[in-house]
Amino acid sequence: MIPIDPRGGGGIDTIGLAQGKVSRSRKIAQTLFQLEIRSLTRRGTQTQKSSPPGENCGRMASLELVALGVCMSCRKTCLILLLFVISSTAALAQVSHSEQVQIAPPLIRAIDPPAPDATAADLERQADRLRVDKLYLDALDYYRAALSKKANDARLLNKIGITELMMQRYKEARKSFERAIRSDREFADAYNNLGAVLYEGKKYGPAIKQYDKAIARDNSSASFFSNLGAAYFSKREFDPAVAAYQRALELDPEVFERSSRSGVQAQLPSPEDRAHYDYTVARLYAKMGFSDQSLEYLKRAMEAGYKDLKNVYKDVEFAELRKNPRFTELMASKTPVIPD
């Protein structure tokens, strides 16, 4: 009978199979050993009976030979037993490897290094393609080669910082964005990206300052306002967060669909705050008349267990949405709370 994994799933328990093989191997070896001993004992007894009474020396010699044979057979059988145990232990060791975590190999370079005679523009274009393909080490090589031909170029320094940020090299990314700012004090993207590094480090106050600087230089970017709202939300300063999110939606109604919701959620300190975030976004979408998006985020708030869901019948932002049959259907579904 094939042992089934006791952890469920109906899979074959490979460790159980290996242990069964070890047990059976030991039983076989023990049986062989016992049969060998019995055989040699019978031979010794027959030799004693067949020897003439006066041939004690021959009898003694036969007994000695039998004893020697028994000893040698014991050694042989023990060796068989040892080989079974070793091979079975090796099988178990091989099985145990399947339960180990294998660390992914480090990032490697996949293409030829930058050509010395390539122009800065060509190197930058190739680096952009490599970054899109997630070949980050190669992209860095090409960006740095381009930077060597255009020293202290703020745009290149910013792209280097973005690549380092994608590789989770936060210290290096912060230095690159700071260098970009020193090269061009009016470069709004670099301030925003520096704010993103600080936000990842949960330094929300300093991040807000950088987002404000980015917005002061370019107030037409929905991403800047969305990032600002996320930082305020993580500080539990909900009023300025709502104001920033509302401005982001006014500039780009699809800003939340393109930004990383999981990144914002990961920074929120509790399940209640994450549910509050979803409810807030639902309310903003409802205020702007985007029923589909509002219902989607309202559903997420329900699934996350938002405690003040009854406010959906009071908040003026949901006045029009409450007339939608899908709203009634959603509220009647009593979506179960998804555990954190």
Q: C-alpha 238: how far from its chain's center?
A: 31
Helix 222-234 to helix 188-200 angle, to the nearest 10 degrees? 30
Tens of pLDDT, residue by residue, the chain (340 residues) = 433 333 334 343 433 434 444 455 555 555 555 655 565 555 555 544 444 544 444 444 444 444 445 444 555 554 554 444 444 444 444 444 445 555 555 666 778 999 999 999 999 999 999 999 999 999 999 999 999 999 999 999 999 999 999 999 999 999 999 999 999 999 999 999 999 999 999 999 999 999 999 999 999 999 999 999 999 999 989 999 999 999 999 999 888 876 654 444 445 557 888 888 899 999 999 999 999 999 999 999 999 899 999 999 999 999 999 999 999 999 998 655 444 4
Kindly compute the dihedral angle of the four CA atoms of residues 246, 250, 254, 260, in this order, to the nearest 10 degrees.
-40
Within 13 Å of residue 308, how many CA atoms lie on the same side as its CB?
Answer: 12
Question: The whole model's pTM is what?
Answer: 0.63
Phi, psi of 34 (to 5 degrees): -65, -40
Q: Where are any strands of DSSP class E within the chain?
A: none
